[in-house]
Structure 1
Amino acid sequence: MARVQLQGVRKVYPDGFVAVHGASFEVADGELLVLVGPSGCGKSTLLRMIAGLESITAGSLRIGERVVNDVAPKDRDIAMVFQSYALYPHMTVAENLAFGLKLRGHDKAAIGERVAEAAKTLELDALLERRPAALSGGQRQRVALGRALVRHPQVFLLDEPLSNLDAKLRMSMRVEIARLHRRLGATMVYVTHDQIEAMTLGQRIVVLDGGEIQQIDTPMALYEKPANLFVATFLGSPAMNVLRGTLVREDGLALALGDGARLPLDGDGVPEAWLGSEVDVGIRPEDLRRDTGAGAAFAPTVEVVEPVGNEVFVNLQQGPFALIARLPPGELPEPGARLPLRAAAGRLHVFDPGSGERLPG
């Protein structure tokens, strides 16, 4: 396996559109790194540049110790798994697994050994004589993974490999890919728009938007301390609530909203230097708690209640702001009622409303 290093990698198309603005990061040897962001953010373009399927306008790309900017895809020692399975329908599973090795001139014994190894790793042993039409979606995806696995490449590149599967299969395949990575200790770069996939699979995550890297960190570090409003609202399901108001000190620190409501704030992490200024305050749905005290200052209106068994999602409205609270099951509030809430101490995220950057505090 090998590390992958990108230094100021940039992609500009002939019409002047900048798809990637100077991306710089390193994928460590044996790391599973996820590129995540909305459609059009540049994540697949970055992956295709690593694969050699897109030219690099500027910057340098290293795989191992080689600069590979001008190296052909077949000579980069990478294997790629695409969103579509791209299996040959007239070939058996064994033939699909072996096809790439045959093209590269490997001898029959080595091919058989590698196919058997990959089939055992991915539990495809009993399916080797079947054709793709006789396989489920999950089985086809495992064959596509196996076709990459038999190559023994330095780097695996996976471009939204689970997006064609239903929710249940996506969950099981996430587990399979994580297990495969642990077993192989392989260097993997994984592209997805699904933030749950990113959070559960990635050892580190690169968050992209508009072709620019917004933040690089471990999943929980991104969740607990997002660098800006985009990262804060993109990662997390349901998404982070954001309220805009003015920081005031009236019987304690609070966020004064435009409709006269006040959200009491715990001082920890709130930059008091911004007193009297407008800020955006982010609160995760699980950090909104019922306020059982008398005369609660913050009581948004209940819009929709969604009980899902072990928890309840309560959709609320406070003036122009739509909110979601994630509450434990129990007595459910009625739509139209006011629900007194407070923010959990030390769990606030404060951002500059102009730049969207996190405020130190």
Structure 2
Amino acid sequence: MAKVTLDRLRKVYPNGYVGVADASFEIEDGELLVLVGPSGCGKSTLLRMVAGLETISSGELSIGERRVNDMPPKDRDIAMVFQSYALYPHMTVADNLGFGLKLRGMGKAEIAERVGAAAAMLELEPLLQRKPAALSGGQRQRVALGRALVRQPQVFLLDEPLSNLDAKLRMGMRVEIARLHRQLGTTMIYVTHDQIEAMTLGQRIVVMKDGKIQQIDTPMALYNRPVNLFVATFLGSPKMNILWGQVDERDGDLSLRIGEGVALNLRPDAETREKVRAYVGRELTIGLRPEDMHLAEAGPDTLAAQVEVVEPVGNEAFLNLGCGGCDLVVRLPPYNLPRAGDTVHLSYAAERMHFFDRESELRL
């Protein structure tokens, strides 16, 4: 196990494109850290730089106490699990698990011991004599994890390892990976574009966009206090509702006028109130999570909205609504739902509002 330190790590391609811009953070010894962001944000590039599969343009990378910038991948004491399983089709599961150890000159007895331990941990023992073609997608992914596991590396690197699996298998494998990390206590860096994977697996999450780190924090800290509009809307499913309009003040009360005759009452906490007051007469962006809005009787603290689509998904339902030119989604219990075309009234948790500058998109 080892701590991984990135100090102003940068990747610039020959055409001048910046794939990763000055990434600086530490992954603690034994931590499971997730890199998340949309396609092309630089998360896999950053992971490959840690692995030694991408050259580092500038900055310092350390694994444990060693600077590894120019060290070949085989000497970094890391193991990587890729999106594709990359198993040898002509080898059995047992041979696939032990092949890397055989290449390193390890003795047969130790290889057998390590393969047996990994197979037991991943419930692969009945499959050891099968070949990859006779395995399901989930079983193949467990073999790929086991091949990394037998190496007993200081750091595990996982690059979107579940993206080829269906939804049910992904859920099961998320639990498997979390359990493995708890048992092994090994440092893990996990890359995904799936914010649900990021939220459920990561002890901390690094959110990236356009090669730049947007925010680093625990999952719920990111969810509750996103530093900007991108983080706010990227994390959460359905994503955060965004409303915008002009801030008005009357008799000391603040409101957001989001359309003709449509206003949202603002009750920011004492710390935020003066920041919001500075926007009186100017535009401001407000964020509200789908679970922070509810159906209610018409009243001064409600919004009128028209139901556009109703999405019942079993244990809950999502209402897609239009309100003052803004699109909203509300999460509800799946009972007594309105129909498309109905006009409904929404109450909202004013204390759960998020406030963002309209131009910079930064949190107030």
TM-score (norm 1): 0.97
1:19-30 matches, cutoff 5 A:
19-30=19-30
Q: What amino acid does structure 2 have at the position aligned with 1:317? A: G
Distance 1:55 1:261 in 2: 54
Greater CA drift, 300-309 or 124-133 = 300-309
Q: Which residue matches 1:179?
A: 179
The 3-state SS of whatever aligns with 2:329 is: strand
Distance 1:136 1:313 in 2: 33
Q: Which residue matches 1:13?
A: 13
Distance 2:83 2:335 in 1: 42
The 3-state SS of whatever aligns with 2:60 is: strand
Q: Which residue matches 1:333?
A: 338
CA shift, 1:342, in A, is 2.1
Q: Which residue matches 2:258?
A: 257
Distance 1:348 1:228 in 2: 13
1:1-361 matches, cutoff 5 A:
1-250=1-250, 252-268=253-269, 269-270=272-273, 271-294=276-299, 297-359=302-364
Deviations 1:150-208 (A, max 9, x none): 00100000000000000000000000000000000010000000000000000000000
Deviations 1:312-345 (A, max 9, x none): 2000012331110112233211211211112213
Distance 1:294 1:27 in 2: 50
The 3-state SS of whatever aligns with 1:300 is: strand
Q: What amino acid does structure 1 have at the position aligned with 2:119? A: A
**Residue ranges of structure 2 left out of the alignment (5+ in a row):** none
8 Å Cα contact 2:302/2:348 also seen in 1: no
- 4+ runs of 1 displaced by more than 6 Å? none
Identity %: 68
Distance 2:105 2:289 in 1: 55
Distance 1:234 1:43 in 2: 15
Distance 1:135 1:242 in 2: 45
CA shift, 1:96, in A, is 0.1
Cα RMSD between the aligned structures? Answer: 1.2
User: Number of aligned pairs?
Assistant: 359
Deviations 1:212-257 (A, max 9, x none): 0000000000000000000000000000010111121247322101
Greater CA drift, 192-201 or 307-316 = 307-316
Distance 2:296 2:307 in 1: 14
8 Å Cα contact 2:268/2:353 also seen in 1: no
Q: What amino acid does structure 2 have at the position aligned with 1:350? A: F
The 3-state SS of whatever aligns with 2:54 is: coil
Q: What amino acid does structure 1 have at the position aligned with 2:330? A: A
Distance 1:31 1:286 in 2: 30
8 Å Cα contact 1:264/1:343 also seen in 2: no
CA shift, 1:289, in A, is 1.6
Q: What amino acid does structure 2 have at the position aligned with 1:280? A: T
The 3-state SS of whatever aligns with 1:48 is: helix
CA shift, 1:357, in A, is 0.4
Q: What amino acid does structure 2 have at the position aligned with 1:290? A: L
The 3-state SS of whatever aligns with 2:307 is: strand
Distance 2:241 2:93 in 1: 47
The 3-state SS of whatever aligns with 1:339 is: strand
TM-score (norm 2): 0.96
CA shift, 1:98, in A, is 0.5
Distance 2:302 2:102 in 1: 71
**Residue ranges of structure 1 left out of the alignment (5+ in a row):** none
Q: What amino acid does structure 2 have at the position aligned with 1:322? A: D
